[in-house]
Amino acid sequence: MSGIRPRIIPCLLLRGNGLYKTVRFKNPVYVGDPINTVRIFNEKEVDEVVLLDFEASRNGRTPDFEKIGEIASEAFMPMSYGGGVTTVEQAKRILALGVEKIILNSAAVETPALIGELATAVGSQSVVVAVDARKNLFGRYQTTWKNTEKSKAIHPVQWAQEACALGAGEILLNVVDRDGTSQGYDLELVREVAAAVSVPVVACGGAASNEDLAAALKAGASGAAAGSMFVFHGKHRAVLISYPAPEEIDSLRR
């Protein structure tokens, strides 16, 4: 796990002024106010928070700097942001708001040189490339972007390797088919990606229990991210912000 302390990370999806949760990147359901949610996570002393404006790139929107600043000012933990970032200048502005890392997805696929430009400007440690993966009709992995509206045949492992070669300091592996399903991580792909790159890999998509989080870490991930697990409770998916207790976190890292 790259010699770093494994992290358990809430992944929050921003849309306008609210937080939402999706299933396989579709059918967003409102789950609450981002400021209140971050305050709760502050109290629970979470390791880190990932904030993704999941419709920004698809809709051709630039980052909402005012909203990002409001959320970052309330976050007492490291925060990573992704969504609509297409230039080094935008990234620098977001980092100046108190965000620790910039997550590139669509822009990285469409303009790979941006990864290196950003790494040179702010350091690789602040550059995360989100790799969205799903299986096609033939059961083969492919890389998608813009909320799965676009895809290409390149295998997620290959794309992760290319992104790291260009300067990415971390990979956020999102498995589309597991998103919001509570069916557990795609551990096979987590293992493949973690073994193929030398930077930290954060697994995302499918977590439903502490056991799932632990399984991702044991598969080689440096971090285990989750959405539904930390915002829903029970079979009726009532909104309840939660996070494992400190003693549970310690056991996950063993």
Give the residue numbers marked as catalytic.
132
**Placement of tokens 């910039």 in the chain:** 102
For residue 42, give Cα distances in angstroms to 25, 73, 176, 210, 243.
26, 12, 28, 20, 11
Sequence-separated (6 or more) residues with CB below 8 Å from residue 96: none
b (16+ CB within 10 A) / e for 89-119? ebbebbbebebbbbbbbbbbbeebebbbbbb
Rounded to whole angstroms, the Cα distance separating 37 from 7 reads: 19
For residue 232, give Cα distances in angstroms to 167, 214, 242.
36, 19, 8
Q: Centre a 10 Å sphere on the Cβ of residue 5 and count the other Cβ atoms it contains.
A: 9
Strands 127-135 and 141-145: antiparallel
Rounded to whole angstroms, the Cα distance separating 31 from 28 reads: 9
Rounded to whole angstroms, the Cα distance separating 23 from 30 reads: 12
Rounded to whole angstroms, the Cα distance separating 178 from 191 reads: 16
Strands 201-204 and 170-175: parallel
Rounded to whole angstroms, the Cα distance separating 41 from 48 reads: 9
